[in-house]
Amino acid sequence: MNLILLGPPGAGKGTQAKMIVEKYGIPQISTGDILREAVAKGTELGRKAKEYMDRGELVPDEVVIGIVRERLSQPDCEKGFILDGFPRTVRQAEALDEMLDEMGRKIDAVISIEVPEEEIVKRIVYRRICKQCGAVYNLIYNPPKVDGKCDKCGGELYQRDDDKEEVVRERYRVYKEQTEPLKEYYRRTGVLYEVDGTKSIEEVFNEIDSILQKIS
């Protein structure tokens, strides 16, 4: 199963991707996570990407396209994959189509998680992430059992550099302008599914899961 998770920042793409990984055993490919890892390691890619990320802007297409091309060629993607945060522009979607064509594969479903702007700001400002295992929490909606510590591994929780309100609003603006048009792009090929992302994490997952059962 080859999936794309679409939706504004804070819609719950990462949260749902992890639940799909657990149930279906296909890998999550998050361009945001890959870029943040490069930033943390202080590589050349990381230094370049950080400037864009801190402003809430998109990293140049050719950079992320290269990352995804290399990741999709790895053996664990043979059984399928979940793209989380890619594609984000029409150029990226076209490049992905070319890559998949070359591989003789196609996208089975694009799941667009719909959440309005005000809810997004609330979710992101209260988001905390485990430094060690990447588990995602929310101080209001999905708090850890012990303050500042991950339930799963005891790791320390941190807040992303781009999770400040003014940067979140810019990321949302960029989403509306550059990424939302992709819904039309995928609607045309009949693979787009829209999901109400304002419901609880479990309810959203059940809705996604019923789509996945239908298509698999």
Nearest residue to 118 via CA among 166, 162, 169, 159: 169
| CA pair distance 206, 127, nearest whole angstrom | 22
Least gap, CB of 213 to ligand AP5 (angstroms):
20
Piece in contact with ligand AP5 (CB under 6 A), picked from 80-88, 96-104, 150-158, 184-192? 80-88
> Which residue is catalytic, options 160, 169, 183, 199?
160
Contacts of 87 (CB under 8 A, 6+ apart): 4, 93, 95, 96, 182
For ligand AP5, the binding residue among 4, 20, 26, 32 (CB under 6 A) is 32
Piece in contact with ligand AP5 (CB under 6 A), picked from 93-101, 103-111, 120-128, 187-195? 120-128
For Zn ion, the binding residue among 23, 79, 106, 152 (CB under 5 A) is 152
Strand, coil or helix: 198: coil
Q: Which two tokens stand for residue 88?
A: 């984000």
**Contact indicator for 31, 69 with CB cutoff of 8 Å:** no
Asked whether position 123 contacts ligand AP5 by CB under 6 A, the answer is yes
Asked whether position 130 contacts Zn ion by CB under 5 A, the answer is yes
The conformation of residue 175, written as its DSSP 8-state character, comes to I
| CA pair distance 76, 93, nearest whole angstrom | 22
Q: Which two tokens stand for residue 39?
A: 């930033």
Asked whether position 28 contacts ligand AP5 by CB under 6 A, the answer is no
Asked whether position 1 contacts ligand AP5 by CB under 6 A, the answer is no
127 noted as active-site residue: yes
| CA pair distance 20, 82, nearest whole angstrom | 8
Distance from the Cα of residue 140 to its chain's centroid: 21
Q: Which residues bind ligand AP5 (CB under 6 A)?
A: 7, 9-15, 31-32, 35, 52-53, 56-59, 64, 85-86, 88, 92, 123-124, 127, 136-138, 141-142, 171, 197, 200-201, 204
Residues forming contacts to Zn ion in the complex (CB under 5 A) are: 130, 132-133, 135, 150, 152-153, 155
Q: Which residues are catalytic?
A: 13, 88, 127, 160, 171
